[in-house]
Chain A
Amino acid sequence: SSHEHKLNFRKSKEACLGYIQDAMLQKQWTKAAEFLTFYIESLEKDFSREYMGPSEIIWRIGTEILCHHSHSSMREFNSFIEQMKTLGVKRYLKVCLEHVFHLLCNGLIDEAYQNLSLAESWRFGEQTAIQDKEMKLIQAYRGLLDYYSWSKQKNILLEHGQDGFEDLSVEQEMHSCFRKAAMNLKEIIKIPGVWDLFVKCYVDLLEFYGDHNEARQVLNEYAYNSKFPANPNAHVYLYQFLKRHGESKKLLVSTLKILHDIAPSHELMIDFNTMLQKSKKRKKRRLGLEVIFAALDYAGWKENVKAWSCLARQMKQIVISQKHLDWIKQEWNSRKDWWPAFHFSRYLAKRNWQENESLSYEKALVAGILLGKDCKYFKYVSHQGCKAQVKRFRILKKFMNRHNPVYLKISG
C-alpha cells in the first residue's frame, strides 16, 4: 500500500489495476470483477500514447475473468467479446481470432466456424492490409476446421463403405471440404513460421488424394527452408512420411541426423540408434554410439530402459569384439566427471533395483564397463541380483569378471 497522498486519475487507476492483478493471481474472480467495474471508466479516457491502453487491458482481463468465473456463461462471454471487437479497430482480427480459440476450447465448432467466416469477410480500409497476418491466420484456421469436417466425412464414408453403403452427397461434401481446406492450408504454410498442425493436416489431405510429390515437397520445404525457424517437428514429420513410403535407409538416416543435431533428446533417437547400430558402415555405428550417449545426457531419459538397453547392447558388442574401444573412450571423456553422480550413485542403484529390475540390469552393465565391477552401482546391483538368484545377473557378473580391465582402458 502506498502512502502517497497525491492522488489523481491515473494513479487511482494504476492502483485499481494492481488490485485486479492480485485478485486474478489468487484466483479470486469475484473480487477481480468487482475491481474491474471501477477500472472500466478508463475507457472514456484512452491513453493512446501508452503501450497497452485501457481498452486492451479490459479486453484481456475481462476475458480471463469471464473464462474462470463460476457464474459466467458462454452467452455473456460472446456478448462481451462483441463489444470488445468494436473497441479497437486495430485489434479487430486479433480479438476475433482469440474469440474463435475460446469457442473451440469449449467445443463450439460451428460457432467458431461462423465467426471465422465472418472475420474473413471483414474489410476496413488500410487496416485490412495492416492486419494481413491475422487474416491469414483466420483463413488458416478456417481451413483447419474444413479439414476437420473433411475428416469426419471421410470416416463416415469408410464406415459406410464397409457396410456396403454408398453416399454420394457425403462424398461430394467431403471433396468440397478438401478443396477449401487445401487452399487455405497451403497459403499459410508458405509463410515462414511454426505451423505443425496445419502441415500435418495438409499432408494428410495430400496423401489421401495420392499427391505424394506435393506432400514430399511441402515437408521438405518445411524442414529445410532456412527462412523457417528451426523446428524439430518438421524433421519428425518428414521422417515419418519417408518411412511410410518405404524410403531408403540412407535418406532416413540423413533426416534423423538433423533431428539429432537440433534435438538430441528427442524420443526418435532410440529408433535412430537402432538403425545405426545395424549399419555396416563404421561411421554410422560410431554415430549411433554418439546419439545414444547424447540422449542419456538428459534427465528425462534417466529411467528409460529402452535407451539403456540400446547403449548396453552396443557397448557390450564393442567390448566383446575388442574393436573400437576408443569410441567409448571418446564418449566417456566428457562425461566421466558427472555421469557417475548423475546415473550411477549408490542411491540410484538402490532405487533402480527396487523399482525396475530391467533398468538396473542394463545400467549395471554399462556401469561395469565404464567404471569397473567395483564401482558402487555395479557392486550393489550385482550383489542384489545374485542374491535374488536372477539368472541374468549371474551371467553379468561372470561377464564383468572376464572383462573388468576394460574400464581402465576406457578411463585412460
Chain B
Amino acid sequence: RDFNERCAQCSEVNWGLTDGGRFYCRSCHNVTERTREVVNTEFISNTRVQTISKGSRRQEKNDGACEWYVCEGFQIVLKKQAEALEALGVCPQMKDEILCNFWKCYLQKSKQAYCNRPAGETVKALSGCDSSTDVDSEPERPSVLHFLSLSESDGDLQTDCSFASSTSRVSESTSVYSGSVDGSLYFTKNEKDKLRMTMPMTLSFCYMALLWLREPMTLSDLLRYVVEGHVPYLNVFQHFPEKMKLCGLDLRIFCVESWPVYEEVHNKMHELAAFLDLPRFPDITDSCFLHPDMLCMKYLMEANLPDELHNWTCRVVKKIGIGEADFLTLVPGNKSTRKVKYDILAAAVVVVVLKLLFLLDDNYEWLLSDFAEERSKNSKEGAPYFEFKKWYKVIKCTVDAEQRKLDEKRAKYLWRCEKPLFYSAKKKSKVLKRRQMTVNLQNQFGKLSGSVRPAEKPNPSSFQLSWSEENTDGSCFHGHSLEGILQEKCGLLTAMNTDYWLCTVKLCKEKLCGHLGHYSEVDFPQSYHFVLRLFSFLLRIQPSYIHDEVCLIEHKLFNKKLCKKPKYKAVLRS
C-alpha cells in the first residue's frame, strides 16, 4: 500500500503482498523482489497477511478509506499512551517490551490476531462491507434492538442513532455499520465474551504494565494524569491515520465522554491479568515505591504532616503484615487474596495513625493541640511542636482553595475535539453546520469574557501539594516534632491518647453491598471527615473507598481484641 512505483510489466500501481512478504502486482501478478521492509506497526501483520493472500476482499473503498479492525484502533491508543508515559519518565521498557507483549498476548487469547482463525473473519457478514460466502458458525445473530438496550446513561449519541427506528436484521440492513470491520461485533452479547476491549481498559493495560515494572506511579496518579491531559484518553482517535474512518458504532467504542473510574480500571486490570494467564508479578518489596512504607512517606509529605509520623506508619504496617511481599504482590487469578490498592491502602494507614495519635473525635484532638501549645511554650529549643489546630487551619485553607479550582476546571472542561465526528455520512452536513455555529458562538461570547487566559495544563507532577520548610510563615509541618503529644512510659515514647474508636464494629460483606463499611459525613466526626476529604482530594476518589480500607486495617490491628470479646464497646483502650 505504501509502495507507489509502477509495475514493470503493466505499469499499474496496484500492489499486494505475498505470504513471503514480497510485493506483487495484482493486475498482472508480476512478483517483484521488493520486500516489505518497514513493518507498519500500526496494523496487525497477521490478519492482514491472511486476507491479502486470500485476495477475495476489496482492499480499499472508494473514498480512500481502508478496512480496519477495532483492535487496531486500540493498538494506536495504547501506543500513544505508552509514549506519553515515557515522556512522563516511565522507563522505555514499558512501551517497547511489556505493554507490547501484554497486548499481543491479549490479542491471541481473545482470538483477534496472532492465531489461526481470527474471530474477526466471522464478522464479515455483519459489517455490511462485503458479503462473503464463507460464513462460519457465528454467534447468535444480534438484533438491532440489542443496541438500544445498551442504554448509555451519558445519553451520548443516542439521538444520533440513525438506526433507532429500524428493526431489520443486522445482516440485511446497511444502516447499522461502522467504519471498522468489526465495530458492530463489539455490541453483541456473545457467550464467548472474552474481555472485549474498551477505552477504560487501555488504562488497565497501562497500569498493569506499570505494576509489572514496579514504576513509581500509582493508579490514582495515572488517572490524574489522564484527566490533566498528560496521558491521552479523551479524543485519542484524532490520532488515527486518515484512512481509518471512524463512524457509526466506532464512535461508541472510541468516543468516551466520561473520565475513567478507579474501581473499574482496577477491577478490569485484575480480570485482564487472570485472562492473560500471567504469572506472579515481580515482588513488591520495601524498596519499591508502591510499598506502604514508601507511599506513606509520600502522603505524609503531601499532607504536610510531620516526618516523625513515618515511624508510626511503619509500625502499623508491620503489625498488620501489609508490608509483606506476599501480601502486596499481585498473583493473577488468585481469588483468595484481596486486591491491593496501594495508594488507598497507604492513605488509610496514615488516617489510622492520625486516629491513634489524635483520636479525631471532634474533641480530643483540639484539647491535645492546646496542650501541645502549652508545652511548646515551655520548651524553646529544638523543633517546634506539632499542633493539630495549626495544621488544620493551613490544610483546610489550601484544600478548600484547590477544591474550588478543581471544581471550576471541571465545569470548564471541553470535551469535544477539533475533528468533528459523524455518525453516518448522512449526518455530516448537519454536524458540520452545528460545529460552525458552536465556533461562532464561542467566539462571540469569548470576546465578552474579558482577557481571560485559557486554562493552562498544569505541569505533570507527582505531588499536588508541596510545602517548603523555607517558608518563614511556618506553614510547613514536616520538621515538627511529635513531642508535644507524646509521653514517656517505661522509657518509651507513647501516644498520650489511649482511646480509639472503630469505624465499624463489624465489617460488611463486600460482595453484597460493595463496601466494607458505610461512610456518610454525618455519621462520623468532622475531623475524621476532614482527614478523609484531604486524601479523597489527593487521590481523586470517593472518601468511602478510603474509609473501607481504614475499616479493614483497624480490624486487622485490633483483631485480638475483637475476637476475644464479641460484645464490646466501640471505644477500646490500646
Chain A residues close to B by CB (< 8 Å): 1-10, 12, 15-16, 18-19, 29-30, 33-38, 40-41, 43-49, 58, 62, 65-66, 69, 71-72, 76, 79-80, 83, 86-87
| B160 nearest in chain A by CB position | A45
A12→B543 contact, CB < 8 A: no
B410→A12 contact, CB < 8 A: yes
B446→A37 contact, CB < 8 A: yes
In the assembled complex, the Cα of A44 lies from the Cα of B394 at a distance in Å of: 43
A15→B411 contact, CB < 8 A: yes
In the assembled complex, the Cα of A378 lies from the Cα of B544 at a distance in Å of: 72
- Would A3 and B449 be within 8 Å (CB), given that A9-B258, A44-B431 are in contact? no
In the assembled complex, the Cα of A66 lies from the Cα of B540 at a distance in Å of: 37
B159→A38 contact, CB < 8 A: no
With A3-B536, A35-B411 known, 9 other A-B pairs at CB within 8 A are A1-B403, A8-B257, A19-B411, A33-B450, A40-B441, A40-B442, A41-B415, A49-B155, A69-B448
Least Cβ–Cβ distance between B439 and chain A, in angstroms:
9
Least Cβ–Cβ distance between A204 and chain B, in angstroms:
42
Decide yes or no whether B511 CB sits under 8 A from chain A: no
In the assembled complex, the Cα of A6 lies from the Cα of B153 at a distance in Å of: 13
User: Max chain A CB contacts within 10 Å: which of B155, B414, B441?
Assistant: B441
Least Cβ–Cβ distance between A224 and chain B, in angstroms:
49
Decide yes or no whether B172 CB sits under 8 A from chain A: no
Decide yes or no whether B191 CB sits under 8 A from chain A: no
Cross-chain pairs A/B with CB under 8 angstroms, 21 sampled? A3-B543, A10-B155, A18-B411, A19-B411, A33-B446, A33-B450, A34-B445, A36-B445, A38-B414, A40-B441, A45-B159, A48-B159, A49-B155, A62-B441, A65-B445, A69-B448, A76-B444, A80-B441, A83-B437, A83-B440, A87-B437
Q: 6 tightest A-B contacts by CB?
A: A8-B258, A34-B449, A9-B257, A33-B448, A15-B411, A16-B411
| B431 nearest in chain A by CB position | A44
A7→B259 contact, CB < 8 A: yes
A47→B155 contact, CB < 8 A: yes
A38→B412 contact, CB < 8 A: yes
B434→A43 contact, CB < 8 A: yes
Decide yes or no whether B537 CB sits under 8 A from chain A: yes
In the assembled complex, the Cα of A368 lies from the Cα of B154 at a distance in Å of: 74
A44→B448 contact, CB < 8 A: no
Query: Which residues in B have their C-beta under 8 angstroms from that of A49?
Result: 155, 159
A15→B410 contact, CB < 8 A: yes
Query: Which residues in A have their C-beta under 8 angstroms from that of B447?
Result: 71
| B543 nearest in chain A by CB position | A3
- Would A33 and B445 be within 8 Å (CB), given that A16-B411, A43-B434, A46-B159 are in contact? yes
B450→A30 contact, CB < 8 A: yes
Least Cβ–Cβ distance between A149 and chain B, in angstroms:
34
Size class of the contact patch on chain B: 35 or more
- Would A40 and B259 be within 8 Å (CB), given that A9-B415, A10-B155 are in contact? no
Decide yes or no whether B541 CB sits under 8 A from chain A: yes
B537→A3 contact, CB < 8 A: yes
Decide yes or no whether B48 CB sits under 8 A from chain A: no
Query: Which residues in A have their C-beta under 8 angstroms from that of B444?
Result: 76, 79-80
B159→A12 contact, CB < 8 A: no
A5→B449 contact, CB < 8 A: no
Flag B152-184 by CB within 8 Å of A: 1 or 0 each: 001110010000000000000000000000000
Decide yes or no whether B404 CB sits under 8 A from chain A: yes
User: Max chain A CB contacts within 10 Å: which of B412, B420, B440?
Assistant: B412
In the assembled complex, the Cα of A6 lies from the Cα of B536 at a distance in Å of: 12
- Would A30 and B156 be within 8 Å (CB), given that A6-B259, A19-B408 are in contact? no
B445→A62 contact, CB < 8 A: yes
Contact of B403 among A3, A6, A41 (CB under 8 A): A3
If over half of A's interface residues share one DSSP class (helix, strand or loop), that class is named, otherwise mixed; here it is helix
B543→A34 contact, CB < 8 A: no
In the assembled complex, the Cα of A65 lies from the Cα of B445 at a distance in Å of: 9
Decide yes or no whether B487 CB sits under 8 A from chain A: no
Flag B379-405 by CB within 8 Å of A: 1 or 0 each: 000000000000000000000000110
In the assembled complex, the Cα of A31 lies from the Cα of B442 at a distance in Å of: 14
Contact of B411 among A33, A38, A83 (CB under 8 A): A38
Least Cβ–Cβ distance between A42 and chain B, in angstroms:
9
Contact of A38 among B413, B434, B533 (CB under 8 A): B413
| B159 nearest in chain A by CB position | A48
Decide yes or no whether B563 CB sits under 8 A from chain A: no
Query: Which residues in A have their C-beta under 8 angstroms from that of B446?
Result: 33, 37
Decide yes or no whether B341 CB sits under 8 A from chain A: no
In the assembled complex, the Cα of A332 lies from the Cα of B232 at a distance in Å of: 81
| B406 nearest in chain A by CB position | A1
Query: Which residues in B have their C-beta under 8 angstroms from that of A69?
Result: 448
Decide yes or no whether B53 CB sits under 8 A from chain A: no
In the assembled complex, the Cα of A30 lies from the Cα of B414 at a distance in Å of: 19
Least Cβ–Cβ distance between B187 and chain A, in angstroms:
20
Contact of A83 among B156, B258, B441, B536 (CB under 8 A): B441
Contact of B435 among A18, A44, A48 (CB under 8 A): A44
A65→B448 contact, CB < 8 A: yes
Least Cβ–Cβ distance between B297 and chain A, in angstroms:
24
Decide yes or no whether B452 CB sits under 8 A from chain A: yes
| A41 nearest in chain B by CB position | B416
Flag B508-528 by CB within 8 Å of A: 1 or 0 each: 000000000000000000000
Query: Which residues in A have their C-beta under 8 angstroms from that of B543?
Result: 3
In the assembled complex, the Cα of A383 lies from the Cα of B308 at a distance in Å of: 85
Least Cβ–Cβ distance between A259 and chain B, in angstroms:
48
B156→A44 contact, CB < 8 A: no
Query: Which residues in A have their C-beta under 8 angstroms from that of B542?
Result: 3-5
Query: Which residues in A have their C-beta under 8 angstroms from that of B415?
Result: 9, 12, 41
A47→B442 contact, CB < 8 A: no
In the assembled complex, the Cα of A46 lies from the Cα of B449 at a distance in Å of: 24
Query: Which residues in B have their C-beta under 8 angstroms from that of A5?
Result: 261-262, 536, 540-542
Query: Which residues in B have their C-beta under 8 angstroms from that of A6?
Result: 258-259, 261
| A16 nearest in chain B by CB position | B411
In the assembled complex, the Cα of A71 lies from the Cα of B445 at a distance in Å of: 11
| B154 nearest in chain A by CB position | A8
Query: Which residues in A have their C-beta under 8 angstroms from that of B262?
Result: 5
Decide yes or no whether B407 CB sits under 8 A from chain A: yes
In the assembled complex, the Cα of A29 lies from the Cα of B540 at a distance in Å of: 32
B448→A72 contact, CB < 8 A: yes
Least Cβ–Cβ distance between B60 and chain A, in angstroms:
30
In the assembled complex, the Cα of A120 lies from the Cα of B407 at a distance in Å of: 46
Query: Which residues in B have their C-beta under 8 angstroms from that of A58?
Result: 441
B155→A44 contact, CB < 8 A: no
Query: Which residues in B have their C-beta under 8 angstroms from that of A41?
Result: 414-416, 438, 442
Query: Which residues in B have their C-beta under 8 angstroms from that of A43?
Result: 434, 437-438, 441
- Would A9 and B156 be within 8 Å (CB), given that A1-B404, A38-B411, A41-B415 are in contact? yes
B410→A35 contact, CB < 8 A: no
Query: Which residues in B have their C-beta under 8 angstroms from that of A71?
Result: 447-448
A44→B434 contact, CB < 8 A: yes
In the assembled complex, the Cα of A7 lies from the Cα of B129 at a distance in Å of: 37
| A18 nearest in chain B by CB position | B411
- Would A44 and B416 be within 8 Å (CB), given that A30-B450, A71-B448 are in contact? yes
In the assembled complex, the Cα of A76 lies from the Cα of B414 at a distance in Å of: 25
| B539 nearest in chain A by CB position | A5
In the assembled complex, the Cα of A71 lies from the Cα of B154 at a distance in Å of: 37
A45→B156 contact, CB < 8 A: yes
Least Cβ–Cβ distance between A65 and chain B, in angstroms:
7
In the assembled complex, the Cα of A4 lies from the Cα of B412 at a distance in Å of: 16
Query: Which residues in A have their C-beta under 8 angstroms from that of B413?
Result: 7, 12, 38
B410→A33 contact, CB < 8 A: no
Least Cβ–Cβ distance between B443 and chain A, in angstroms:
9
Query: Which residues in B have their C-beta under 8 angstroms from that of A38?
Result: 411-414
In the assembled complex, the Cα of A46 lies from the Cα of B259 at a distance in Å of: 20
Least Cβ–Cβ distance between A86 and chain B, in angstroms:
8
A40→B450 contact, CB < 8 A: no
In the assembled complex, the Cα of A325 lies from the Cα of B563 at a distance in Å of: 92
Least Cβ–Cβ distance between B450 and chain A, in angstroms:
5
A16→B412 contact, CB < 8 A: yes
Query: Which residues in A have their C-beta under 8 angstroms from that of B159?
Result: 45-49
A1→B258 contact, CB < 8 A: no
